[in-house]
Amino acid sequence: MRYILVIGDGMADDPTSVLGGKTPLESVDTPVMDRLSAGGVLGSVWNCPQEFPAGSDTAILSIFGCDPRVCYTGRAPLEAAAQGVRLRPGDLAFRCNMASLEEGDMPFDRRRILSHSSGGIDGETSRALVEELFAHPDFRSLAEAAGLEVHPTLTYRHICVQAQGDPKGLVLSPPHDHLNEVCGPYLPHGSANAEVLRGLMEKSFEILRKLPANLQRQAEGKLPANCIWFWAEGTAVELPNFPARYGKRGAVISAVPLCHGIAALTGLDRIEVPGATGEKDTNYRGKAEYAVRALLEQGFDFVGIHVEAPDECTHNGDTPGKLESIAAIDREVLGTLTEKLAGEDYRILVLSDHKTLTDTRGHAYGYVPFLLYDSRGGEASGLAYTEANGLLGPHVENGTALMDLLFQTEAKA
Ligand SMILES: [Zn+2]
């Protein structure tokens, strides 16, 4: 038996006037998803415990069977693990986004947040800019005094680790939840350490906006990557071992460090797919082909495929992109999987981790639809994969039960 998980990040939504009162899942033709859903179990699951902000970190932890209420310290430690960065006791990790704030003459805290990703900046430029920033004498002295080190990535999502960083009282905000808002209320606040981090962000703006790569981006009509943005703080974390718990050898395919980190910390392998970008131009088909190879040729029992594109498109206000990426998940990911696994026994779980709303461009709590299909037959819902149809089926109150459903194992308390 082969087991497959497909997460369409932020695919679920609410009905929106932009789409004539429908959700994106209701608006796009998704024949494969609908066939699997009609021929399998269709239900609803709640992945993000309400004591945490709604987001992929807690949602995907839940999906992989790790209860965020037990093991979540923050998002950045998971991403640090993806880079092989081991946190020491007392270390505090942050996400350090390359973001874009409004240019012009206003004070720093009156600038609007134009992008949490500097308009989906390319990895090479993003890494070069953050390295140049941390090497700049004016910035380096402040960073050293704060005990802060950067671990650059080839995306807009860098990681910082602060030795003996004090998380008490510190309030940081995810920039993608406050797009087009004035940044002031969302800057670090609540503690002395917050003031230090805020000072670093302000200094980064002074330096980054003048760097040649940013002047060139502006000349090309692109958003300058003119500010770093700290958020997602957390201390060292340990997660339950997936192979030991479920008795399955597994691998994860994703473009985003969060999923790579969860894989590293749960004892799952990570499979790199060329052209997997985390954006709508990602290599959808490649993800499915590598998953099939892992299952049929490399001895894996389980592969989890994560596709970030629908979430990114929603944050970027790109509704056509969200629709396209859902169609591509259907055609290229699920279409390829079902075609290449024809004749094999398999069980596949397809879901959105959380809702990302077209109307707000932010995440939201709530049930999201899941489908669980077994190639050998069994329960058949007869329904297409949509949010409303999911609500008609079984309700799974806690996403941590999903792997037990997929593997048909007894849930452990
Ligand atoms: Zn998101």
pLDDT digits (tens, 9 = 90+) for 324-344: 999 999 999 999 999 999 999
Does residue 410 register a pLDDT over 80?
no
Helices 137-146 and 192-208 cross at an angle (nearest 10°) of 160
Query: What is the 8-class DSSP label of residue 176?
Result: G
Å from CA of 104 to ligand 1 middle: 28
- How far is the centre of ligand 1, averaged over its atoms, from the C-alpha of 413 (Å)? 29
pLDDT of residue 411: 60
Question: Separation of 236 CA from ligand 1 center, angstroms?
Answer: 23
Cα of 71 from ligand 1 centre, angstroms: 21
Cα–Cα distance for residue pair 399/367, rounded to 1 Å: 10
**Cα of 91 from ligand 1 centre, angstroms:** 26
The Cα-based distances of 411 to 64, 266, 401, 406 in angstroms read 13, 18, 6, 11
What are 232's two structure tokens?
Answer: 């997602």
> What is the whole-number distance in angstroms between the Cα of residue 85 and the centre of ligand 1?
23
Instruction: Compute, in angstroms, the gap from residue 93 CA to the centroid of ligand 1.
Output: 19
SS (H, E, C) 347-365: EEEEECCCEECCCCCCEEC
**pLDDT per residue over 39-73, tens digit each?**
999 999 999 999 998 999 999 999 999 999 999 99
Q: Cα of 275 to ligand 1 centre, how many Å? A: 20
What pLDDT sits at residue 409?
80
CA distance 338 to 184: 49
Which tens digits make up the pLDDT trace of 159-191? 999 999 999 999 999 999 899 999 999 999 999
The DSSP symbol for 274 reads T
Tell how far the Cα of 380 is from the centroid of ligand 1, in angstroms. 31
Ligand 1 centroid–CA 292 distance in Å is 27
Domains and CATH numbers, the chain: 2-72+239-407 (3.40.720.10), 92-234 (no CATH)
What distance in angstroms lies between residue 266's CA and the mean position of ligand 1's atoms? 22
Q: What is the CA radius of gyration of the chain?
A: 21
Ligand 1 center from residue 299 Cα (angstroms): 32
Task: Give this prediction's pTM.
Answer: 0.85
Rounded to the nearest whole angstrom, what is the distance from the C-alpha of residue 56 to the centroid of ligand 1? Answer: 6
Q: Is the model's pLDDT at 413 over the cut of 80?
A: no
Q: At residue 92, does pLDDT exceed 50?
A: yes
Give buried/exposed letters for 216-241 (b at 16+ CB in 10 A, else e): ebeeeebbbbbbbbbbbbbbbbebbe
Amino acid at 300: F
Placement of tokens 């995306």 in the chain = 155
Edge-to-edge strand ranges of the sheet holding 302-307: 269-270, 250-253, 302-307, 2-8, 346-351, 368-374, 41-45, 395-396
